[in-house]
C-alpha cells in the first residue's frame, strides 16, 4: 500500500497513487493525447458508499477517473472538527481501486498551497449561495471550499468533475465558481446515496449513538414530507417545530430555496426548488436535502 512519503506507487488493481501534481500530469499525458477525458472526484477521504457512487458514475464517462484525498484545513470553522476528521488513506486507496478509479492523488498542504499559511483564505461572495444556510451557520466555510476546489482544478486539470448532491449548497457554489471564472471543466452532480432506512450516507454517521441514529432518520423523513406538501414553505416551518421537539435534535435550519440562487422559494418563482436541513443530532452535525415535488 502507498506511503505518503512516496511520490508515485502502484496500488491495487493497477490503480496509480500520486502525491505530486507533476507525477499525476505525467501519468495522464498519454491518455490526454489519445483523446480520453480526465474525470475528477475530489474528496477528503473517509470513504463510504456515497464516494464509491461518485466513482461509479465517473466511470460511465471515462476510464481515467482520478480521486483526490486531501483534508482541506481552510474550510473548517473549528480546529477541533479538523482534528477529529477521520484519516484512513490506505483504506480509502483500496476502496477507490476496488470501485475502479484509475488512481488516487493525495497531495500534502504545501503541494496544494505552496508558500501559504492555513489561515490565508481569500473571501468569496456569491450572494446567497455563499451567505445563506451553510454560509450563515459556518462563516468562511465556502471561502475554503472555493479556494481548494479552484486549486485542485489547477493541479488536476480535469475535463469533468463529480460532486455529490448531498452537499447541495457546495455543489451550487462550485458550479458558480466554474461559471464566474469560465473554467473549462464540466460539473456533474451525483444523487445522494442513502442507507436502506433513508439516512443520507456521511462519514459522520459512525459517530451517532444508536438512539441518535434513530432520531437522525427524522431529517430525511421530514424533508421528504416537505418536498411533497401542497405548501412546502408552511410544511417546512411545521417540520422545524417537530424536529425541535426531539430532545436529541437541535435543528439549525430547514428551508425551501430556489435551487440555482438559494433565495427563499415561492410558487411564483419559475425555478426548481430544494429543501435543505441541518441539525445537531446527538452532538453530531448532519445535513440533508431533497428536490421539491409538490403534490
Which residues are known catalytic residues? Answer: 51
Name the nearest CA neighbour of 144 among 167, 123, 168: 123
Task: State the Cα torsion 75-282-47-84 to the nearest 10°.
Answer: 50
Amino acid at each position: 500500500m502507498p506511503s505518503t512519503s512516496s511520490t508515485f506507487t502502484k496500488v491495487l488493481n493497477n490503480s496509480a497513487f500520486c502525491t505530486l501534481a507533476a507525477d499525476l500530469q505525467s501519468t495522464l499525458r498519454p491518455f490526454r493525447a489519445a483523446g480520453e477525458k480526465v474525470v475528477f472526484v475530489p474528496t477528503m477521504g473517509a470513504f463510504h458508499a456515497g464516494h464509491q457512487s461518485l466513482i461509479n458514475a465517473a466511470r460511465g464517462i471515462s476510464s481515467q477517473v482520478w480521486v483526490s484525498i486531501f483534508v482541506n484545513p481552510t474550510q473548517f470553522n473549528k480546529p477541533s472538527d479538523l482534528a477529529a476528521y477521520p484519516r484512513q488513506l490506505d483504506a480509502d486507496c483500496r476502496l477507490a481501486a476496488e470501485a475502479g478509479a484509475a488512481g488516487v492523488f493525495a497531495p500534502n498542504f504545501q503541494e496544494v498551497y505552496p508558500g501559504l499559511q492555513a489561515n490565508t483564505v481569500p473571501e468569496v461572495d456569491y450572494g446567497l449561495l455563499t451567505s445563506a444556510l451553510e454560509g450563515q451557520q459556518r462563516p468562511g466555510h465556502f471561502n475554503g471550499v472555493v479556494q481548494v476546489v479552484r486549486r485542485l482544478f489547477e493541479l488536476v486539470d480535469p475535463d469533468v468533475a463529480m460532486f455529490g448532491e448531498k452537499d447541495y449548497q457546495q455543489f451550487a457554489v462550485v458550479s458558480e465558481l466554474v461559471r464566474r471564472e469560465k473554467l473549462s471543466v464540466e460539473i456533474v452532480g451525483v444523487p445522494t446515496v442513502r442507507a436502506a432506512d433513508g439516512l443520507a450516507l456521511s462519514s459522520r454517521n459512525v459517530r451517532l449513538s444508536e438512539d441518535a441514529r434513530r432520531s437522525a432518520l427524522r431529517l430525511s423523513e421530514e424533508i421528504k414530507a416537505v418536498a411533497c406538501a401542497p405548501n412546502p414553505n408552511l410544511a417546512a416551518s411545521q417540520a422545524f417545530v417537530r424536529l425541535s421537539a426531539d430532545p436529541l435534535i437541535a435543528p439549525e435550519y430547514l428551508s425551501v430555496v430556489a435551487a440555482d440562487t438559494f433565495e427563499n422559494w415561492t410558487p411564483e418563482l419559475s425555478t426548481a426548488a430544494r429543501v435543505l436541513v441541518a441539525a445537531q443530532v446527538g452532538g453530531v452535525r448532519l445535513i440533508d436535502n431533497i428536490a421539491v415535488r409538490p403534490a
